Amino acid sequence: MSGHYTNLIIGLGIVSCAFCTYLANRAKLIDEEGLPLFFFPRLLNYLFWLFKEIIISNFNTAKVIISGNVEPEIFTVKASQHTDVARVTYANSITLTPGTVTTKIKNNILEVHALNSDFGDDVRSNEMDKKVKLLEGER
Amino acid sequence: MFLAALTACAISALLVLARIVLGKTTFDRVLAVNSLGTIIVIGIALHGFYANRPEFLDIAIVYALINFIGTVAILKLFSTGSFKGNKK
Amino acid sequence: MDLFTDLLTGLFFFLGSLSIIIGACGLIKLPDVFSRIHAAGMIDTGGTAFFVLGMIMQSGWSLITVKLLLIGIFIFFTSPVTSHVTANLAREKGMVPEGKKIGKLL
């Protein structure tokens, strides 16, 4: 981070990383959700799609704020994923695209607040749900 | 170019400050403080480029970390009334 | 080549400035907490993404690029967490948003 790459500093970094890992292992903080490795092969594809989606909905949100036709609505959708990690990914993706926010989660039912009925239709069409299910893969 | 971007940051920071002063509920204020933190992170990074001193980026990283921790801590204080963990 | 990167930086900065100013106006203008969260999310995602892209164009390949990407990735991952925590707490405290309610709520 600082541009200095002497042996001492790199050695100290390795030692502190190993010490932290030892402490986390001793406190039993490591479980199967720590590093979801089964995502990684398909993650890059999904991130590109998500980035494109974020920019598109940014422009739509800007249009709604300027023109002022705000008709908020709130509804529930069902998440079809099996693991908790995939559900959290789905909920975070919904929240990350401006215009839709996840307000509550109970088991596999998400409560979503949308700024406009267009955004609501976007979520209700289940396109993102299918993408995240593809990302999760066959289990 | 950087000066123009910094001006835009300043204008939006003023607008967000107006929301902090006006805000009806606590959630409005917390949300506006979080947005103000994001704008300040961008502003610090831009100022580092404007003054040709890229060391400011380190400060921007630390500000982003502290902003997140501060927002979650304030909301936790507001919801439970203390910073303690969940009782079992 | 230099002119091209400068033009691209200018375009990204323009889009980012537009994004954060419209987000801040929305934060003033929209009616209730749940709607304002969308404007705050616009500042967090759109503003940061465009500004970081513009600064990466300006910096070239060095350690600065890594730090900028680190800022971008960090805000990208923490922005939905703060939005969701705020919205969830507002719902837990019993606030009901304005507008249509479709189906049974949790």
Residue at token pair 């390949």: C61
Which residues lie below 8 Å from residue B56, measured CB to CB, with a gap of 6+? Answer: B44, B45, B47, B48
Neighbors of chain C by Cβ distance (3+ pairs < 8 Å): A, B
Look at residue B44 and tell me if it is in a domain.
Answer: yes
**Subunit contact B57:C44, Cβ cutoff 8 A:** no
Residue A77 CA to residue A65 CA, distance in Å, equals 25
Structural domain harbouring B28: 2-80
Total number of domains constituting chain B = 1
Within 10 Å of residue A128's Cβ, how many Cβ atoms? Answer: 21
A49-83 burial, b if ≥16 CB within 10 A, otherwise e? ebeebbbebbebbbebbeeeebebbbbbbebebee
- Whether the pLDDT of residue A13 is over 80: the answer is yes
In chain C, where are the structural domains located? 2-92
Site from A65, A111, A123 to mutate, C interface, most C CB atoms within 10 angstroms: A65
ipTM value: 0.87
Q: Measure A18 CA to nearest chain C CA, in Å.
A: 22
B16: in domain: yes
Residue B85 placed within a domain: no
Which pair of tokens denotes residue C71?
């800022």
Chains touching chain B, criterion 3+ CB pairs below 8 Å: C
Interface test with B, best of C2, C7, C27, C28 (most B CBs within 10 A): C27
Q: For all residues of chain A together, what is the average pLDDT?
A: 81
% of chain B surpassing 90 pLDDT: 30
Give tens-digit pLDDT for B6-59.
998 999 999 989 888 887 788 888 888 999 999 999 999 999 888 888 788 889
